[in-house]
Copies of this chain bind each other. A is one copy, B any other.
Amino acid sequence: MLGVCYYPEHWDEARWITDAQRMRALGITYVRIGEFAWSRIEPARDQFNFGWLDRAMDVLHAAGLKIVLGTPTATPPKWLVDECPDILPYDEQGRVRGFGSRRHYTMSSQTWWRESARIVTAIAQRYGDHPGLVGWQTDNEYGCHDTTLSWGPEDLRAFRDWLRHRYQSCDQLNEAWGAVFWSMEVADFAQVTLPNLTVTEANPAHRMDFWRFHSDQVAAYDLMQCDIIRAHSPGRWITHNFMGFVSDFDHFAVADHLDLASWDSYPIGFVEKFPFSETERNRWAETSHPDIAPWHHDLYRGVGRGRFWVMEQQPGPVNWAAWNPVPKLGMVRLWTWEAMAHGAEVVSYFRWRQAPFAQEQYHAGLNLPGLDELSPGGQEAGTVAREIAQLGPLPAVQQAAVAIVFDYASYWATIVQPQGRDFRYEELAFRWYEALRRRGLDVDVVRPGAPLDGYAAVIVPTMIHVTDAAQAALEAAGGVVLIGPRAGSRTRNFAIPHDLPPGPLHTLTQNRVIEVASLRPGLNQTVNGAVQGKAIRWRDHATTQAQVLARFDDGGPALTQHGKALHLLCWPDQDLLGSVMDLVCRNAGLTTMALPEHIRLRRRGDLHFFTNYGPEAWSLPEGFECLLGGHQMPAHSITVAKPLSKKV
């Protein structure tokens, strides 16, 4: 199903009816509204102006659209900021981040909680049972623009409370942090400082707790909004639109109280943000890399416990990357189908019409700036709508054979203490995912501690701290378990485990890491044995009681096996990674299909969705019947096919 993001407050009221009718004509079912409209809903304190929104909802509903309403907390209006400046966030340099764009609040502010509750209550009371309303979105893109962490006085106050609750006594805090190290001990929680603007690096345990605190704040703040909404809007679901590659808080934890997950998919913008090589950036600049959107689809299907939307789908060029090319013809259609192949319930384009004013005026919409005229992306959306109708209902999504365990805390931990400048957790996880997908495999992304039953292979790119639950789940896993470098290297208190890394994973791996090396670009170490390639960026120097499948040149173990558990003791280059994944697949008994770099495959029931992200044509292997597209796949196209037999 298709949706669209719409801002009635941006357009003359006279145009709303035409807009709604043209949405329906294009094949749009859902419309998201309201998430930035606080200054219009409440132009001054307690002076609510609901009239326009009443009328907008009625018009949309009357046209047959289903409405998703956003709470407007991402954009507190100026009168509120002036009245309550304590809601403003601070950056790591200690400066106030002011009014004038969006997300200018810190969740640490009690004032902000009170004001948020007030506006959410007002809106939920007003519209909670509107017949056109089917669901809610809380706020907008938590954490976007580096807003998860804030470094102001309100944050310090709330952080001290969090620590007081967690450690109960300063002795326990001092012990947990190893604060004796540089005389950093405190005698009262009121002595705890923010971990910024120190002379040299702050204590990593201090920084890690500060990060956990903020991650907890996001979940708590979102739950507060959800509780209010649920009290006033029975029968409607609630989601939040997460932003891709914003890993500063734990999305699984936030989604625990949501009905479904959603995310904002800007495949091309992410190409500039993710640490691709320049060659890759140029290769994928106008199509996106074939695993960027799929990685997030698989992640948010996991975050949403099986249910997710794409709440914002890029419909053309955007405005916010360093460079913003026009997508190749066909890509808007391809991205939409890719989302549905991965189980998206709805793909909702951002936005209906390009705004000719303010910050995002270079961001394409389904319609040209200010006009009632479809953009190139709008025309592709129409094509998809027709194809959806033609293809009929899609089969249910099934559990994949392979799971990747994704751990937000490992992202924080490797930023808090990189040890090597290029040990980037998101990149590690993404590359391992890419390697699986290049082998034609479907992948589930799961959280640490999730049950791993039914997976032929479980991939743990790394997991810095291994919780009891995570340990138990991995030990209980029935399939092959591949564990990566640096795993188990920190305790809950961000210390080295007393029995050395991998700590709780020792039972599985039978390894013991006695030294670690981070390797500068240009340094590498050769690996030979059952797998071949090179270690780059990181090597664990370990002693082992497991079977050594491959060794470094100096004889040290590089890949070990103990029962089901493979342990890769380095960051692999592309060759080594491929070699290891081939071994995993063999051990797990998985059937693979070697795909070129521009082709991907995703299954949904017996439907096979082949996508071609390249300018080169490609032919499907024998044995498929095509339902959409053909065996010969032209550039930037999709083919939906069914296997003729069980052989594929």
Chain A interfacial positions (CB closer than 8 Å to B): 9-10, 36-40, 43-44, 72, 74-79, 82, 89, 93-104, 144-145, 147, 177-187, 191, 193-206, 272, 278, 281-282, 285-286, 316-317, 319, 322-326, 329, 354-362, 364, 368-371, 375-376, 417, 419-421, 493-498, 500, 514-520, 522-523, 539, 541, 554
Contacts and interface: CB of A to CB of B under 8 A. Distances in A.
Given A75-B183, A520-B282, A197 B36 contact: no
Given A93-B95, A187-B43, A199-B147, A375 B523 contact: no
B177 A358 contact: yes
22 contacts: A36-B182, A39-B179, A39-B185, A43-B187, A78-B193, A100-B184, A100-B198, A104-B199, A184-B358, A317-B516, A322-B421, A323-B420, A323-B519, A324-B518, A325-B520, A326-B541, A329-B554, A357-B494, A361-B495, A361-B496, A369-B496, A375-B514
Given A36-B183, A358-B177, A515 B103 contact: no
Contacts of A523: 282, 285-286, 323, 325
A517 B326 contact: yes
B368 A518 contact: no
B40 A180 contact: yes
Contacts of A498: 356, 370
A357 B493 contact: yes
A39 B185 CA distance: 7
A27 to B, nearest CB: 22
B79 A323 contact: no
A500 B419 CA distance: 49
A214 B469 CA distance: 54
A359 B201 contact: yes
A421 B323 contact: yes
A452 B537 CA distance: 48
B362 A9 contact: no
Given A183-B36, A187-B43, A193 B100 contact: yes
B94 A184 contact: no
A198 B420 contact: no
A76 B191 CA distance: 14
A204 B358 contact: yes
A629 to B, nearest CB: 21
Contact of A520 (B199, B322, B358, B517): B322
Nearest to A96: B197
Given A77-B183, A356-B497, 12 more contacts: A44-B187, A72-B183, A75-B182, A78-B193, A95-B197, A99-B198, A100-B206, A101-B200, A325-B519, A326-B517, A362-B417, A376-B515
B420 A522 contact: no
Contacts of A357: 177-178, 181, 205, 493-496
A612 to B, nearest CB: 17
A419 B362 contact: yes
Contacts of A76: 183
A44 B186 CA distance: 10
A288 B500 CA distance: 27
Contacts of A323: 420-421, 518-520, 523
Contacts of A421: 322-323
Among A40, A75, A329, A520, chain B packs the most CB atoms within 10 A around the CB of A520
A421 B325 CA distance: 12
Given A75-B183, A199-B89, A206-B100, A515 B364 contact: yes
A540 B509 CA distance: 57
Nearest to A190: B82
A518 B78 contact: no
A205 B500 contact: no
Contact of A181 (B103, B358, B420): B358
B193 A98 contact: yes
Contacts of A200: 101-103, 144-145, 359
Contact of A78 (B38, B99, B186, B319): B186
A423 to B, nearest CB: 9
A198 B101 contact: yes
A405 to B, nearest CB: 24
A361 B497 CA distance: 11
Among A102, A183, A359, A497, chain B packs the most CB atoms within 10 A around the CB of A183
B36 A324 contact: no
B324 A202 contact: no
Nearest to A539: B326
Given A39-B180, A100-B198, A102-B182, A420 B324 contact: yes
A30 to B, nearest CB: 22
A183 B37 contact: yes
Contacts of A520: 272, 281-282, 285, 322-323, 325
